Amino acid sequence: MKMLINVPETVVADGLRGMAAAHPELTVDVENRVVVRRDAPVAGKVALVSGGGSGHEPLHAGFVGPGMLSAACPGEVFTSPVPDQMLRAAAAVDSGAGVLFVVKNYTGDVLNFDMAAELAEDEGIQVAKVLVNDDVAVTDSLYTAGRRGTGATLFVEKIAGAAADEGQPLERVEAIARQVNENSRSFGVALSACTTPAKGSPTFDLPPGELELGIGIHGEPGRERRPMMTSREIADFAVHAILEDLHPSDPVLLLVNGMGATPLLELYGFCAEVHRVLAERGVAVARTLVGNYVTSLDMAGTSVSLCRIDEELLRLWDAPVSTPGLRWGM
């Protein structure tokens, strides 16, 4: 496989050096693997810290900045960051108002963020944690106990980040983050496997004429494998799977997310089909976001995420944000 890298061992460090060069508004500690808002800590503001394995960019480091995360901890490719990274990030951004850890439900992330929270509290930093577990495809997987954390991580980080920037207290920011997670569901589809730099070949076998329904963001197996389907058929399957679990009566936020290698032309066409299915089911869409946000290296495919939204959550979603990966209203 051809990759735009030097050697697999330096992929994450090289990427962080490039992020530092491209985004002087961030403080990027390449050696310790921590990305922080340059203006942190912000007096009186709850800090949001998240992280996970690299390979899902722009998640998480690309969402550091005003209106979203205060700091992010990138691990090795598809590997959880370590507690020392999380502790260093929490200490860098804590203003005394507390820190909220946003944790995707993958076993390594959960264990390491739990340990980091204990270490931070030993140092006098008040920490709350919110677990993101929005994937409806499978209950348990190779990486998780319970549902996986996927596309709704963006909803949680954006909306809770806006609440924190308004100066809302830790208890309220945590409650908002939990509400967003509880209101969100996702479903992913892979058209091809991804290739990690260390392996240099596809992480799983997916024949050219087949797709995987319900895939995870590391290439975990989904619900079933089928012969290739049309965009219309995939939208029907994915949206119906979500609505079997979500049952929205309020309008929704919609994220049509690319897994890394799917062109925007295809994603927008798929978005039209998702809107069609939602209209047929009587679900109103308040806002739509299309693009590569929660990716899996070079995987071709897509995921659909829906979040039931009320006026307060919609106001926080619309609030200004300025990060490398998401920017509006500034």
Name the residues annotated as catalytic.
Answer: 56, 218
Question: CA 210, CA 1: separation in Å to the nearest integer?
Answer: 21
Q: Which two tokens stand for residue 177?
A: 């983050």
Is the dihedral angle over the CA atoms 260, 58, 29, 103 positive or is it negative?
A: negative
Strands 47-54 and 99-104: parallel
Is-contact 305 186, C-beta < 8 A?
A: yes
Q: Please tell me the distance from the alpha carbon of residue 80 to that of residue 112, in angstroms, as a whole number.
A: 8
DSSP secondary structure letters along 164-213 = HHTT--HHHHHHHHHHHHHTEEEEEEESS--B-TTT-SBSS---TTEEEE
